[in-house]
């Protein structure tokens, strides 16, 4: 915790008790040039005291703030010193804009040549930010005593240099054409301007994140923002000058500008690796919400004294979605999720059943651009009860030749007997390429055309997977060694809390608010039926031997290992009744043609 001082409230003396006010007023009145240096050093050494007491923010900032708020404070005030690029997601009402405006004032006070560019979601909010900074520079008595006057003198100077959307302070020693502070709304450009600092304060809102196109426009606009930084600026991180950029706000939609900078999207061009993140939540236990009493029971609050418990109760009572986005910095409320994290069951490879039939399910995408969908490949094994075991996975944007190569590679690796292929015009090249490669290599792999997708609702198709997850009829095999059976930890892994994490889980949980849904869509054909017979296209294994492993058990989210690596199933018949392919008369005809009769199997029976 930063040190607090006992000098009273600077800059707002009329609100103090008469004795204290007169004493501090006398101190300021008697301040000499030597005392000015002392005041400057105090401000520089203790920015918390300057922000809270020097700028008269005692009403909103407690004397001893919670630790999480101090983390937010220290992160923002690192910008330009030890932090060159940063992105902050913090709950609403945590005084982010107050801290940014105080930081701007402090930067201007210590360097009249500094150039700051500030962007926010609307022009009016940008002008309000500039007005607040100007008011402190003009009227705050501590600033006047410690640093002198900042407003240009003379009628002409005040008109041209002290404007609503930008201003120049007096005493600049450079001829830079950029104002001391420039404010604008997102979407605007500042061609030819170069700054020491760029601040983004709540750049996204409900209006500009309503559609995927709106989200893309915001990201496209931002790509040019770092170019506003002056490469010759002495500000930056230690040893890395060139200006500093800070994005600060709360998320509104999955894949918005904040999420893109944090690396929460599948965009390979996301600059997440160069932005230091800080993501904060209002509560550690949002599941403590009591829907009957409309309040949190024993809430574990991270911003106590900054955000009240009453405020959190009111916001949560209005619905989970906005509460989780605005106060938990999560774009999806767990209770509203179609797929939930605790439904993902991860198992080691040794718990994969011996008797399964394996298939490759795919959702092929054509484009290679970053905005295009991706190709997703699943290798799925089905046991005699049609429980699904996902044993391999890959996703990406690939050329036609690469899609064919990867499909054949995964099918051969796991002995897949069929490859799913959606029947549509854009897949004709894929079908021809796969057929040619299968014939050339003389493989016994059939291509299973999937029809009806063009007339089906994608949402209904993906939601049809929900019962499998909820009832524990789908498992994800973890890869223990590179190249072995199982899905790479790059895509799905078991966390320390026993729950599943990774790109696969994220895309399922974020459905249907995520930018892409290729991963669940590829898996959605697993229970597809044939139109003419009503049987499953992808049938399960026919046998369940004595050493057959039943569905793995779990304890606190983790698979329970068995001493013999398998648990015998005592209730299964030696040969399960085949209700998944054909019918009685078809089987009888097949038996008769191969030399048998209705009761005795033939050559293939």
Tens of pLDDT along 457-514? 777 888 999 999 999 999 999 998 887 889 999 899 887 778 888 889 878 877 876 6
- Tell me the mean pLDDT in the region 218-222: 93
pLDDT confidence tier of residue 107, bands split at 50, 70 and 90: very high
pLDDT at 58: 94
**Burial group, residue 387, by CB count within 10 angstroms (0-12, 13-18, 19+):** buried
Longest Cα–Cα distance in the chain: 116
Q: What percent of the chain has pLDDT over 70?
A: 79
Is the pLDDT confidence value at 599 over 50?
Answer: no
What pLDDT score was predicted for residue 150?
Answer: 94
Q: Grade residue 5 by pLDDT with cuts at 50, 70 and 90.
A: very low
The band of 207, judged by pLDDT with boundaries at 50, 70 and 90, is confident
Count of C-beta atoms within a 10 Å radius of residue 586: 11
3-state SS class at 117: strand
User: What's the pLDDT at 411?
Assistant: 96
pLDDT at 9 over 90: no
The answer to whether 384 and 542 are in contact (CB under 8 A) is: yes
What confidence category does residue 22 fall into, taking pLDDT thresholds of 50, 70 and 90?
very low
Residue 87 in tokens: 């992105």
Adjacency order of strands within the sheet including 375-382 = 345-347, 474-477, 388-396, 375-382, 357-363, 418-422, 446-450
Give the integer Cα–Cα distance in Å for 174 and 114.
10
Q: Which residues contact 480 (CB under 8 A, 6 or more apart)?
A: 348, 349, 486
Q: Which residue has the tokens 């789908």?
A: 474
In whole angstroms, what separates CA 148 from the centre of its chain? Answer: 45
Find out whether the peptide bond into 512 is cis, omega within 30 degrees of 0: yes
Rounded to an integer, the average pLDDT of 188-212 is 87
Band (pLDDT 50/70/90 cuts) for residue 543 is low
The yes-or-no verdict on residue 269 having pLDDT over 60 is yes
Q: How far apart are CA 557 and CA 499, in angstroms?
A: 6
Highest mean pLDDT among 83-97, 255-269, 589-603: 83-97
**Is pLDDT at 139 greater than 80 in this prediction?**
yes
Least confident of 78-82, 140-144, 374-378, 541-545: 541-545
- How does residue 212 score in pLDDT terms, banded at 50, 70 and 90? low
* Per-residue pLDDT at 239: 81
Q: Which of 104-108, 338-342, 601-605 has the lowest mean pLDDT?
A: 601-605
**Quick one: tokens of 421?**
């292929």
Q: Which residue would you say has higher pLDDT here, 340 or 417?
A: 417
Contact predicate 589/543, CB 8 Å? no
Record the tokens describing residue 104, joined without a space.
Answer: 């701007």
Give the list of residues 6+ apart from residue 378 with CB closer than 8 angstroms, or none.
Answer: 360, 361, 362, 390, 392, 393, 522, 523
More confident residue, 35 or 70: 70
Mean pLDDT (whole number) for 347-370: 87
Kind and range of the H or E run holding 510? helix 503-510
Q: Are strands 295-296 and 289-290 parallel, antiparallel or unpaired?
A: antiparallel
DSSP 471-519: TT-EEEEBPSSTTSSSB-TTT-EE-TTS-EESHHHHHHHHTTTSS--HH
Between 338 and 520, whose confidence is greater? 520
Rounded mean pLDDT, 173-202: 91
With 90 as the cut, is the pLDDT of residue 423 above it?
Answer: no
List CB contacts of 316: < 8 A, sequence separation 6 or more: 286, 289, 296, 323, 327
Query: How far is it, in rounded angstroms, from Cα 388 to Cα 538?
Result: 11
pLDDT at 596 over 60: no
Give the whole-angstrom CA distance, residue 465 versus residue 442.
34
For the ranges 138-147, 388-397, 570-579, the lowest mean pLDDT is seen at 570-579
CA contacts within 13 A on the Cβ side of 301: 18
Give the chain's domains with CATH numbers. Answer: 64-279 (3.40.50.300), 286-336 (no CATH), 341-559 (3.30.420.140), 575-605 (no CATH)
| The two three-digit tokens of residue 384, written as one number | 């005699």
Write down the pLDDT at residue 154.
72
Closest CA to 415 of 356, 372, 461: 356
**538 pLDDT more than 90:** yes
Least confident of 128-137, 170-179, 558-567: 558-567
How far is 450 from 12, CA to CA, in rounded Å? Answer: 73
Check the CA dihedral 494-498-504-506 and report its sign: negative
Comparing C-alpha atoms, which of 568, 504, 573, 557 is closest to residue 353? 568
In this structure, of 188-197, 275-284, 457-466, 584-593, the range with the lowest mean pLDDT score is 584-593
CA distances from 465 to 13, 245, 331, 449, 520 (A): 65, 43, 22, 20, 8
Residue 546 has pLDDT above 50, yes or no: no
Region 43-60 average pLDDT? 95
Q: Which residue has the higher pLDDT, 496 or 216?
A: 216
Measured from the Cβ of residue 440, the count of other Cβ atoms closer than 10 Å reads 8
Beta bridge partners, 536, equal 529
| pLDDT for position 575 | 41
- How much is the average pLDDT of 427-441? 91
CA dist list (Å): 86 to 190, 243, 249: 21, 12, 12
Q: What is the mean pLDDT of residues 349-362?
A: 93
- The Cα 123–Cα 164 span in angstroms is 10
Residue-level pLDDT at 341: 84
Give the whole-angstrom CA distance, residue 342 versus residue 273: 29
């Amino acid at each position: 915790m930063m040190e607090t001082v006992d000098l009273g409230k600077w800059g707002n003396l009329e609100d103090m008790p008469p004795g204290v006010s007169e004493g501090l007023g006398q101190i300021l009145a008697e301040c000499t040039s030597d005392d000015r240096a002392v005041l400057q050093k105090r401000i520089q050494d203790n920015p918390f005291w300057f922000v809270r007491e020097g700028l008269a923010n005692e009403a909103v900032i407690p004397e001893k703030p919670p630790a999480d708020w101090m983390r937010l404070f220290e992160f923002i005030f690192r910008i330009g010193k030890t932090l060159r690029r940063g992105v902050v997601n913090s709950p609403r009402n945590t005084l982010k804009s107050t801290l940014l405006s105080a930081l701007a004032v402090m930067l201007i006070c210590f360097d009249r040549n500094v150039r700051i560019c500030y962007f926010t979601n609307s022009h009016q909010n940008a002008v309000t930010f500039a007005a607040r900074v100007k008011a402190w520079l003009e009227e705050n008595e501590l600033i006047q005593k410690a640093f002198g006057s900042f407003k240009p003198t003379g009628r002409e100077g005040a008109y041209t240099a002290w404007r609503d959307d930008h201003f120049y302070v007096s005493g600049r020693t450079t001829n830079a054409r950029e104002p001391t502070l420039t404010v604008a709304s997102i979407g605007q450009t500042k061609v030819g301007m170069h700054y020491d600092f760029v601040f983004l304060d709540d750049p996204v809102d409900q209006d500009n994140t309503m559609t995927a196109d709106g989200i893309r426009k915001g990201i496209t606009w931002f790509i040019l923002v770092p170019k506003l930084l002056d490469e010759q600026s002495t500000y930056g991180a230690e040893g890395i000058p060139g200006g500093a950029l800070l994005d600060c706000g709360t998320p509104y939609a999955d894949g918005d500008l904040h999420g893109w900078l944090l690396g929460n999207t599948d965009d390979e061009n996301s600059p997440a690796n160069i932005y230091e993140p800080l993501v904060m939540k209002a509560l550690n236990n949002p599941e403590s919400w009591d829907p009957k009493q409309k309040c949190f029971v024993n809430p574990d609050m991270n911003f106590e004294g900054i955000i009240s418990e009453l405020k959190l109760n009111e916001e949560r009572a209005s619905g989970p979605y906005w509460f989780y986005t605005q106060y938990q910095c999560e774009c999806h409320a767990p209770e509203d999720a179609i797929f939930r994290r605790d439904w993902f069951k991860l198992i080691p490879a040794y718990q994969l059943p011996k008797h399964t039939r394996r298939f490759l399910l795919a959702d092929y995408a054509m484009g290679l651009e970053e905005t295009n969908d991706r190709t997703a490949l699943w290798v799925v094994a089905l046991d005699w009860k049609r429980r699904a075991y996902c044993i391999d996975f890959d996703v990406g944007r690939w050329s036609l030749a690469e899609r064919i190569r990867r499909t054949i590679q995964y099918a051969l690796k796991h002995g897949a007997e069929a490859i799913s292929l959606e029947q549509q015009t854009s897949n004709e090249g894929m079908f021809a390429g796969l057929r040619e490669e299968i014939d050339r290599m003389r493989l016994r792999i059939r291509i299973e055309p999937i029809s009806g997708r063009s007339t089906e609702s994608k949402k209904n198709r993906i939601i049809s997977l929900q019962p499998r997850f909820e009832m524990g009829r789908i498992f994800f095999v973890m890869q223990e060694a590179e190249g072995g059976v199982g899905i790479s930890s790059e895509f799905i892994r078991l966390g320390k809390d026993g729950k599943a994490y990774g790109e696969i889980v994220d895309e399922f949980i974020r459905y249907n608010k995520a930018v892409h849904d290729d991963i669940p869509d590829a898996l959605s054909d697993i229970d597809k039926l044939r139109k003419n017979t009503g049987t499953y296209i992808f049938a399960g294994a026919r046998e369940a031997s004595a050493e057959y492993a039943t569905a793995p058990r779990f304890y606190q989210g983790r698979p329970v290992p068995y001493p013999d690596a398998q648990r015998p199933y005592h209730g299964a018949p030696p040969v399960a009744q085949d209700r998944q392919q054909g019918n009685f008369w078809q089987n009888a005809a097949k038996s008769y043609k191969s030399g048998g009769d209705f009761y005795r199997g033939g050559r293939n029976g």
